[in-house]
Structure 1
Amino acid sequence: MPKQSLAGQVAVVTGAARGVGAELARTLAARGAQVALVGLEPEELERTAAGCGTSATWYEADVTDLGALRSVAERVLARYGRIDVVVANAGIAIGGGFLDSDPDAFSRVIEVNLLGSTSTARAFLPALIASRGYLLQIASLAAIAPAPLMTAYCASKSGVEAFAHALRGEVANQGVRVGVGYLSWTDTDMVRGADEDEVMRDMRAHLPWPTNRTYPLGPAVERIADGIARRSVHVYAQAWLRGYQLVRGQVPLVLGRLAPWQLRGIEPRLRETAANRRGLVGLGGAADEAARAARKVGS
């Protein structure tokens, strides 16, 4: 089928320095949208924007900083005159057992993934109301099927899913559509970073099919772009996620039966290597840690 055009629309994507956000910015631009990229890594943002056409712009901002996001919204409006689409995509993760996790890293995942998304909505909703636009909140399979050893990520993604569903009813009468995007394990820096942990990689390999494989980034993002063009309520980066949505009430029961059996086999290895997984995973996680460290030095 022909790809749906987004010509004439202005789209803002957070977490756009790499991974899903960067690929989505390029895909939206290829469909005719003017894109504004938001993230923490200036060099990566500039490189991605350069591949999105001469009208693309980029802005360095932490999504947990509401003042910075409001400033970005003002600058985007001044540059383009309108904002039609906002994709709240920025996210980080940690892995491992809850009691072994670093409390600060755990809280940071909640702060970025959940509170960062609410700050994104707060900063950009006035512009979306003016344009009768569309807000897409990127959630995850983790919201449909919360799994052991991912407590922070699952809690944050379940939170943003609920937030988006609740917000939808509030802003519908103002002409704004709100959607939720779902992805399974997709080939990004975050997932590759998580797979560097041999124990976590082995645990994931024993998940039930089709949740135990990594999916290519390009097709997943094309499906997200299709959902944006349609302003869909639910957007599934992998088609089979729609089926999981229909049985989501039973998924935690199944995982609750499988997880103890799987965890028994790797428990000693988890304990032995617990100190290795106390930080954020992947290059995006490293960028967040570096940005926070720089702010502390500056203050």
Structure 2
Amino acid sequence: MNTTLQGKVVLVTGASSGIGEATALALSAEGARVAVGARRADRLESLARKAPGEVLTLDLDVTDQESVRAAVASTVERFGALDVLVNNAGLMLSGPIADADTTEWTRMVETNLLGSMYTVHAALPHLLEGRGTVVQISSTSGRIVHAGGGVYAATKFGITAFSEALRQEVTTQGVRVVIVEPGFVATELVSHITDPDRREMARRLGASMRTLQPEDIANAVVYAIGQPEHVAVNEILVRPTDQTM
């Protein structure tokens, strides 16, 4: 167990499945007190039962600023502080730009990018007070763009830009900013895709390699947060060994 994380208060968004759930469980196993938020709040009770430590479940929609502020306030009220924010909530609705359903673009921008920004904004006063850490779960799509993934990639590039500006603003005040960029991970993310051709392409891609598991990304988050306070691991890129792009 990493004693650096013992007793730390962590808020994890998008915690109802996949990377968010695995990260919450891993941090709880390290002795952190964890608040978990998601729109599918019913799933969080199962997570709380599996966690070895104290877990607060929150009905959270990151696209709603009032919901975000309430989640942060509830976390601080329950645990007395907020030391770490893990921004994980996200959608991947890939598809070609021509003939796209642009409401899907809006959903991705609001969830992946604005939701991340809203949560940082609400949490930042507490993180500054406690010299905390922001972890932004991004993607290899924040580095490399492929046809059919333009808007999703735009949200992830946006997270990178926002996070670097944030880092420059708060690092001298002791707040660390970490971007974690997973490659192909076996999660529900592919099932969000409504375009049948893109969904099948993603399914075949996943079947062609030894994909990452959510726990692999959770381990990267634990590593970054668990470093001594004077060490800032600002960026972690994690791909499956078999992934070429």
Q: Give TM class, smaller chain.
A: 0.7 to 0.9
Structure 1 residues 207-246: aligned runs within 5 Å: 214-230=211-227, 231-238=232-239
CA contact (8 A) 2:212 2:240 kept: no
Indicate the structure with greater helix content: 1
**Aligned equivalent of 1:17:** 16
CA contact (8 A) 2:220 2:236 kept: yes
User: How has the CA–CA distance of structure 1 residues 181 and 199 changed in structure 2, closer, same or farther, with 3 Å as cutoff?
Assistant: closer
TM, length-normalised to structure 2: 0.88
**Aligned equivalent of 2:134:** 135
- Structure 2: state its 5+ residue gaps: none
Q: Within 2, Cα distance between the matches of 1:104 and 1:16? A: 24
Alignment pair present for 1:79 and 2:40? no
**Aligned equivalent of 2:94:** 95
User: How has the CA–CA distance of structure 1 residues 19 and 52 changed in structure 2, closer, same or farther, with 3 Å as cutoff?
Assistant: same
Q: Within 2, Cα distance between the matches of 1:48 and 1:8? A: 19
Identical amino acids, percent of aligned pairs: 31
Q: Within 1, Cα distance between the matches of 2:180 and 2:173? A: 22
**Aligned equivalent of 1:67:** 66
User: How has the CA–CA distance of structure 1 residues 195 and 232 changed in structure 2, closer, same or farther, with 3 Å as cutoff?
Assistant: farther
Q: Within 2, Cα distance between the matches of 1:14 and 1:97? A: 28
**Aligned equivalent of 2:173:** 174
User: How has the CA–CA distance of structure 1 residues 195 and 29 changed in structure 2, closer, same or farther, with 3 Å as cutoff?
Assistant: farther
User: How has the CA–CA distance of structure 1 residues 205 and 111 changed in structure 2, closer, same or farther, with 3 Å as cutoff?
Assistant: same
Structure 1 residues 1-299: aligned runs within 5 Å: 4-5=2-3, 6-53=5-52, 55-192=54-191, 194=193, 197=196, 200-202=199-201, 214-230=211-227, 231-238=232-239
CA deviation profile, 1:74-100 (whole Å, cap 9, x unmatched): 111111111111011100111221113
Shift of 1:44: 0.5
Q: Within 2, Cα distance between the matches of 1:185 and 1:144? A: 14
Q: Could you say what secondary structure the match of 1:58 adopts? A: strand
Q: Could you say what secondary structure the match of 1:68 adopts? A: helix
**Aligned equivalent of 1:248:** none
User: How has the CA–CA distance of structure 1 residues 240 and 170 changed in structure 2, closer, same or farther, with 3 Å as cutoff?
Assistant: farther
Q: Within 2, Cα distance between the matches of 1:203 and 1:27? A: 27
Q: Could you say what secondary structure the match of 1:83 adopts? A: coil
> Bigger shift: 214-223 or 103-112?
214-223
Q: Within 2, Cα distance between the matches of 1:44 and 1:68? A: 18
**Paired letter, 2:235:** H
CA deviation profile, 1:167-199 (whole Å, cap 9, x unmatched): 101111222111111100101011355599455
CA contact (8 A) 2:210 2:240 kept: no
Q: Could you say what secondary structure the match of 2:226 adopts? A: helix
CA deviation profile, 1:222-257 (whole Å, cap 9, x unmatched): 12221221252112334869xx9xxxxxx8xxxxxx
TM, length-normalised to structure 1: 0.73
Shift of 1:66: 1.3
Kindly tell me the number of residue pairs found equivalent between the two proteins. 238
CA contact (8 A) 1:36 1:57 kept: yes
Q: Within 1, Cα distance between the matches of 2:146 and 2:194? A: 16
> Bigger shift: 186-195 or 71-80?
186-195
User: How has the CA–CA distance of structure 1 residues 7 and 145 changed in structure 2, closer, same or farther, with 3 Å as cutoff?
Assistant: same
CA deviation profile, 1:264-287 (whole Å, cap 9, x unmatched): xxxxxxxxxxxxxxxxxxxxxxxx
CA contact (8 A) 1:223 1:236 kept: no
Q: Within 2, Cα distance between the matches of 1:150 and 1:212? A: 20
Q: Within 1, Cα distance between the matches of 2:162 and 2:122? A: 15
Q: Within 1, Cα distance between the matches of 2:198 and 2:160? A: 29
